[in-house]
Amino acid sequence: MEKTKDQTKNCKQCCLPIPEKAKICTHCQSHQDWRGFFSISNTVLALLTALVSVLAIAIPSLYSLLHTPKSDMADPMITLDGTTVRVLINNRGDASGVFVRADVRSDYLAGATKVRLRDDQQAVITPGANLLMFDIIPLLTQDESYQNSVDMIELIIQKKDAPNTDIVFQFGDSDGALMVTRLSLDADKLFELMRANSDRCSAIKVPDFYNGCIGAGAAPDSAALLEMMNGKPDEKNNQNKQVPDQQTTPHQP
């Protein structure tokens, strides 16, 4: 029996005869399947590899020359826990922002009420999530804070609105733009604040302006405002009306 002659085919690249089932040409080393359509020489492959390496180094440098880093702070999440305020703010940019200031704007508490950042290093808002901790110092004594908490309970029972009280926070972006956000305190939150401040001041041995327990920090008309909201007459004003000829001397500090 005669041996059958091996069947051959022509290479797709060099057109020389190769075995029919060959996947790589024995002459030019080119692939005969789908990879043959992407056949490139070793020289071209080396050049492409060198080009990719150069671009990997050059693109970041070029980007840094053309791009100006900028902060992008989202609206923060603000919560109140007693006399502690937690502010969670996310900086979505690639530059740091800054915490500018925080203050209290209230018809009930004195404007001198402090909102103190616990750690000054937290004033720099780096890219990513940042948690800032604040202490509210209402400048009220233990007894004044307790009495104010009782007043807030009365408003809650009567389902009346508390005097307007906002804690305002200001943040600055790297381009100088300001972002202002606030936490509004209703009667429930003011009750929580007053009761916590009363407990805090009960542990203070030496009240002073720094710890705020020296009092009195309530606005001069805050008592009259609460009495009006609760439907109570102003006893002091009634006494003055009943005895118009009574002369009083100013209180000497």
User: E strands within the chain?
Assistant: 8-10, 17-19, 77-81, 84-91, 97-106, 114-117, 124-125, 128-137, 165-172, 178-184
d(CA 197, CA 210) in angstroms, rounded, equals 14
Judge contact between 97 and 54, C-beta under 8 A.
Answer: no
Mean pLDDT of 14-28: 83
Residues 40 and 144 in one domain: no
Could you tell me if 44 and 97 lie in one domain? no
Task: Tally the domains of the chain.
Answer: 2
pLDDT tens digits for 142-180? 999 999 999 999 999 999 999 999 999 999 999 889 999
| Domain co-membership, 155 together with 205 | yes
Is 65 within a domain?
no
Q: Which domain holds residue 203?
A: 77-233
Starting from the edge strand earliest in sequence, which strands make up the sheet with 84-91, in order?
77-81, 84-91, 128-137, 114-117
Could you tell me if 97 and 36 lie in one domain?
A: no
What is the C-alpha to C-alpha distance for residues 189 and 161, in angstroms, rounded to an integer? 12
Query: Which pLDDT band holds residue 49 (cuts at 50, 70, 90)?
Result: confident
Give pLDDT tens digits for 106-136: 988 887 899 999 999 999 999 999 999 999 9
Considering the entire predicted model, what is its pTM?
Answer: 0.63
Q: Is residue 68 part of a domain?
A: no
Confidence band of 229 (pLDDT split at 50, 70, 90): low
CA distance 79 to 77: 7
Cβ atoms of residues 212 and 184 within 8 Å: no
Are the beta carbons of 78 and 183 closer than 8 angstroms? Answer: yes
Measure the CA–CA gap between 26 and 20, rounded to whole angstroms: 12
Q: Is the pLDDT of residue 39 over 60?
A: no
> Domain for residue 99, yes or no?
yes
Could you tell me if 105 and 192 lie in one domain? yes
Residue-level pLDDT at 67: 74
